[in-house]
Every structure is written in C-alpha cells, then in structure tokens.
Amino acid sequence: MALKGTLKDFGIADILQLIGQQGKTGTLHLKSKDQEVHIHFHEGAIVRAESSTRNKKDLIGTMLVRAQLITEAQLQHALDTQKRTLQRLGDVLVSLDAITAEKFKQMVQLQTTETLFKLFTWKSGSYGFEQTEVESDPSVVPLRAESVLMEGFRMVDEWPVVKKKITSYEMTFERLKELPPAPPTANEFDAALDDAFEDKKDVTKGEFQSIGEMERRVYGLATAGRTVRELIDLSTLGEFDTCKALCNLVNLDYLKGLSSSSHGMELDRDDTFLERSLAVLGRVVVALVMVGAVGFLVMRADLGAFKLGSASASTYSDPAAQRFISRQQVTRIESALALYRLEKGELPATLEALVETGLLKGDDLRYPWRDGYFYRRTEAGTFVLLPPLR
C-alpha cells in the first residue's frame, strides 16, 4: 500500500482531502477496534463505502424494511431469488415491483453517507490506501471528498447542540401545535429576491430555528409513541438530519420531547465555568509549547532554502511539506483563537480579527497556501478551522 499509518498521525479529514485533491483511484482500508470500513475512490471521488463489520440493522435490506418501504416477506423472497440468480438485491426488488429503482438508489446513497459520517467519530485506528482499479456502483452517485469533509465537520460541530434536546434514541414526542402552511414554490430568481428583502426577525429563520422540508417530513412522522430510532428509520434522512429536525421542532415548540428511562445518547457533561476555563487554558499552554518547538526548529533550518514569508505561497510547491507546515500553522491559529476568547469572552467572527488584535500577522492566515484558511464559529461556542480545499 502506498499510503498507510495510524489515525493519530494522520486523521480521517487529512486522508480524504489528500486522496480527493490528488484525484487518486483505489481503495482506502480503515480499521478501528472491531470495525472495518473500505472506501472506494475513482479519480478522487467516493463511489462506494462498505463496512465488513456492518450490523444487521445497517444492511440495505433491513434498512428498507425498517423504513417500511418493503415488507419482511418481500425481502425474504428477494433474498431467495438473489441466491438462485446471483442478481443484485436492488435489481431483484425492482423486478418484483417491491420498490422503484430511484428509491432504492436513494437508500443505497443513504447507507453510503451514513457509513462515511460515522468515521468522523473514530478516535483511533489504522488506515491504508491501495491504488487499484475500482468498479463504480451505478446505484451510487459519486461523492466529492471535499463535500463529505464539510458535511462531516458540520455534523461533529452541531451534534452537541442537538443532544441537549434529543437525549435518547428511545425518546418520544407530543405534538403541541400544527406547522404553518408551507410557502409556495418559487423559482431561483424569486427565491433570491425573497432572501434579499426578507424580514430578518422572522422566527422561522436561522440555524436550529427553521422549518424546512426535513422538519415537515419528521413532524408528519412524529406520531404518539414513535421513538427517535423509529423516526430515523422512517424519515430516510439519516441519523443526524432527523435528530437536527427534531431539535428544531422542539426549539420552536411544535413538539415536546417526552423523557425515557433508556438513553441511547449520552449528554455532554455540564462543566463549571472554572473547569471550562482551565481546560481552555491548558490547551492554550500545550499549543503554545508546540508552536514554540516548531518555531525553534524552523529557526535552526535553512530559511533561505524555504523562502518563508508572503512569497512562499507561490514558490513553496512540495505538497507533503505544505501539509506538514499547514498542520503546525493550524495549531498556531487555534492558539490565537483560544487567546482571543480568553481576552474577549467569545470567538471572533472572522480570522482577520486575530490580525487586528495583534495575535497574528496577515500572512499567517494564508501561509503556506495561496488561499486563506476556512473558518466558521458556531452557536455551540466552538469553531471549524480547515486548510483551503485545493
């Protein structure tokens, strides 16, 4: 294998970004404890994701039954036919008129994305990339690695907010009021005008405070006695989007969550202000030590050969070295963000605020790339910081 190592040395995000940027074709093998996932790439795009340790409930046939798209009897008949004919399960189900080809394609896509997004919760493991020919699955739309990265980071970032309201997979809900009528369908030009002149005080706007198509679908399914787990299966939106829609509906008082004695999700520990401050301060100290060590090594190196500074963005071309230096630069920016929060009590709206307060220089926000780093602060009090997608 041309690329292998542990996830502590090179994270999931780094690996996906590297393969996507270089347009590689092959299979990425990932292992963590008793879990094993294989991601197939074609010219940098993800065409298939398989879990060799997938639970029965995550098999495509079981997913279809749990979503009530087919019956258990139809699945068993299709499996028996598949054994005799060696056809794909989807082709058999479509030929039996048990499901449409388009709906089966959507469910396979959901199975793929759910497998990918669960990787962002892995804390340790190993990886190995094997350059080999890959057969694309016609039932799966290729996914750009950059898109998976951005969506994965969004999910990891917003989960803490969702779990404050959706505390258990066995939680049920009570309807408090009816949803407002859906707005009339508008074309893109009309939608752009609406966005430009809409009332910014509208209660249905904003993150975790909006009523969209996903919220309407979940609300329609949230009848008395249905659990979060059942709603995830029935909505076919995926675990995160279903739970986020439920969170929105609870926040806007359309649904009321009913507690359950079983907790499928663990709530985050509510640290005191002192504990949180000490934790932030500890990270700052560690980060500053790391930055100092890297700075010492750079000073000892032949700086003239590297041509550091603003010119390096155009002359520094070794991708491996760029990624290495960028990881140290991200640590430096994270340290500056932590110091800014300690001084101001909140994260900055943009990275340029770090330059205005003297914590960083302007070149630090681009070095060693031509483009700037991606940064976004969130309602959860955290932030997303990524190198530019190249």
pLDDT confidence bin for 251, thresholds 50/70/90: very high
The secondary structure of 277-314 as a DSSP string is: HHHHHHHHHHHHHHHHHHHHHHHHS-HHHHT-STTHHH
pLDDT confidence bin for 292, thresholds 50/70/90: low
Residue 38 clears pLDDT 70, i.e. is over it: yes
pLDDT confidence bin for 240, thresholds 50/70/90: very high
Residue 335 clears pLDDT 50, i.e. is over it: yes
pLDDT at 373: 87
Residue 310 clears pLDDT 90, i.e. is over it: no
User: Residue 303, Cβ neighbours under 10 Å: how many?
Assistant: 11
Q: For residues 250 and 151, which has the higher predicted lDDT (pLDDT)?
A: 250
Residue 56 clears pLDDT 60, i.e. is over it: yes
All residues at 6 or more sequence positions from 166 whose CB lies less than 8 Å from its CB, including other chains? 228, 243, 246, 247, 250, 257, 265
Q: For residues 242 and 149, which has the higher predicted lDDT (pLDDT)?
A: 242
- Give the residue extent of every domain in the chain: 3-145, 166-258, 273-386
Residue pair 60/107 in contact by the 8 Å Cβ criterion: yes
pLDDT at 210: 66
pLDDT digits (tens, 9 = 90+) for 174-192: 999 999 988 775 554 555 5
Q: For residues 53 and 238, which has the higher predicted lDDT (pLDDT)?
A: 238
Antiparallel, parallel or unpaired: β 26-32 and 3-6: unpaired
pLDDT at 305: 37
pLDDT digits (tens, 9 = 90+) for 353-376: 999 888 888 888 887 777 888 888
Q: For residues 121 and 107, which has the higher predicted lDDT (pLDDT)?
A: 107
Joined together, the tokens standing for residue 352 give 């340029």
pLDDT at 243: 95
E-state strands within the chain: 3-6, 26-32, 35-42, 45-51, 126-130, 143-144, 172-175, 255-258, 374-377, 383-386
Helix runs in 141-181, H state only: 145-165
d(CA 231, CA 173) in angstroms, rounded, equals 11
Joined together, the tokens standing for residue 234 give 């029935």
Burial class for 315, CB neighbours closer than 10 Å (0-12, 13-18, 19+): exposed
pLDDT at 357: 86
Q: What's the whole-number mean pLDDT along residues 95-123?
A: 90
Q: For residues 211 and 254, which has the higher predicted lDDT (pLDDT)?
A: 254
Q: What's the whole-number mean pLDDT along residues 169-177?
A: 94
- Whether pTM exceeds 0.75: no
pLDDT confidence bin for 154, thresholds 50/70/90: confident
Residue pair 364/333 in contact by the 8 Å Cβ criterion: yes
Residue 307 clears pLDDT 50, i.e. is over it: no
CA distances for 194 relative to 152, 202, 207, 254, 377, angstroms = 30, 12, 18, 25, 26
Residue 311 clears pLDDT 60, i.e. is over it: no
Q: For residues 17 and 311, which has the higher predicted lDDT (pLDDT)?
A: 17
Residue pair 280/346 in contact by the 8 Å Cβ criterion: no
pLDDT digits (tens, 9 = 90+) for 337-346: 887 887 788 8
Percent of the chain with pLDDT over 70: 74
Q: What's the whole-number mean pLDDT along residues 78-101?
A: 92
Helix runs in 131-236, H state only: 145-165, 188-197, 213-221, 228-235
d(CA 276, CA 303) in angstroms, rounded, equals 39
